[in-house]
Amino acid sequence: MRVRRCSVLFIEPRETCDFDLASLLSGGTGLVLRREWIALAAHLDDEIVLDERDVVALGRLSADAWQPLESLRSEHGVDVVGKLLEHGLLVADDEAHVTARTSDEAVRAGHWRALSAVHHRHTRWTGIDTLEAERRCGRETDRSLLEQLGAPEAPVREHCAAGERIALARGAATPLESLVRTRVTCRNYARGRAVPQDLFAQTLFRAFGARAVSDQPGIRVMKRAVPSAGGLHSTGAYLLVQEVEGVQPGLYHYHPIDHALEPLRAIDRAETAALALRLVAGQRHFMDAQVIVVLAARFRRTFWKYRDHAKAYRAVILDAGHLSQMVYLAATECGLAAFVTAAVNEVDIERMFALDPAREGVIAICGFGWRGEHIDETEFDPLGAVWPVGAMDAPGR
């Protein structure tokens, strides 16, 4: 059997502070600093705690050259090599270790920038309930945000006195300006009211549809209504449809060239809201949106051109921002409301849609549907474009 180190690996020296009663009783502070070496690999979900022997061994092993297992055992010890193999930090060419090897090969084939690969893998969530965490934090601290965190930075970094600024005209009142004014993030959806299929289809096409396809030798690129790095448009839309006329509740993939839905799994309507809640990490104000859209990037499509590029992952994130803004505008044009959030349970979404995070990763979730008639959750509408001025302060909100 031959082994080599995994392709992308970062080792973080991490320091934690623990309480130690013996230290306190002996006249110390009672606080003990503990230092650990933490391995973060681009093909593994778990953090691995290492000791110094493990760190030394990993530092001496090649990520490219295969080496005989026995020679490594002789050099670094059977226990060290066994531990690194067990956790997948070493990959082997035998059948028993095929899972770690396959995951590592997906990273190698993806042309990832190493730092981006580790960041993407280890900032994903599973099973997080953000609202419950906020409530728990509030109960435990019993302090307001200002008391806990202090004052935030000013909204604008000013570089000169007000009198030195050059005033600019705001421009004419155009249909686009009217549309933008009514583009307000929705946190109150009308459960039980289905979105008409024509508005559903129009919103998807405006945001994700291909206006044209250009076929060059070996390269096929789309023209969408938003920009994308290299014109590659690697970010796709996976849908959880809850209430759309003529569309069965369930999971779908949107085909941007054919402007069509690809059915993945039917789901009973009674179960979709709970599923949506899990996807948006417990943000209950989004769970009733009639359409939930997962923005998932096919990394290798972008990284095919921008290989091991320092800006490639950032460009993918920008793609998701462009698309979510177009969802807002398209939905608003149809008289619908929209939202976008990056606080999502990526791991749960990957399992639901059978996505490999090294190849096709979740960036954010947006959604759209009918806004409810009543305010149960506060919405930021200072212009009073959606709700009457003062409605947010009404009793029973």
pLDDT in 10s for each residue of the chain, 397 residues? 999 999 999 999 998 877 777 776 777 777 778 889 999 999 999 999 999 999 999 999 999 999 999 999 999 999 999 999 999 999 999 999 999 999 999 999 999 999 999 999 999 999 999 988 777 766 666 677 788 888 999 999 999 999 999 999 998 999 999 999 999 999 999 999 999 999 999 999 999 999 999 887 788 889 999 999 999 999 999 999 999 999 999 999 999 999 999 999 999 999 999 999 999 999 999 999 999 999 999 999 999 999 999 999 999 999 999 999 999 999 999 999 999 999 999 999 999 999 999 999 999 999 999 999 999 999 999 989 998 876 666 544 4
With a CB cutoff of 8 Å and minimum separation 6, the contacts of 131 are: 282, 283, 284
First to last CA, the chain: 66
Domain-wise residue ranges, the chain: 2-109, 174-393
Distance CA 175, CA 194 (A): 27
Buried-exposed string 241-271: b where 16+ CB fall within 10 A, e elsewhere: bbbbeebebbbbbbebeeeebeebeebeeee
CA distances in angstroms from 368 to 198, 221, 286, 324, 326, listed in the order given: 14, 27, 9, 10, 12
By the 8 A CB rule, do 283 and 341 touch?
A: yes
We find that the CATH architecture of domain 174-393 is 3-Layer(aba) Sandwich (3.40)
Distance CA 158, CA 332 (A): 33
pTM, entire model: 0.90
The encoded tokens of residue 304 equal 């095919």
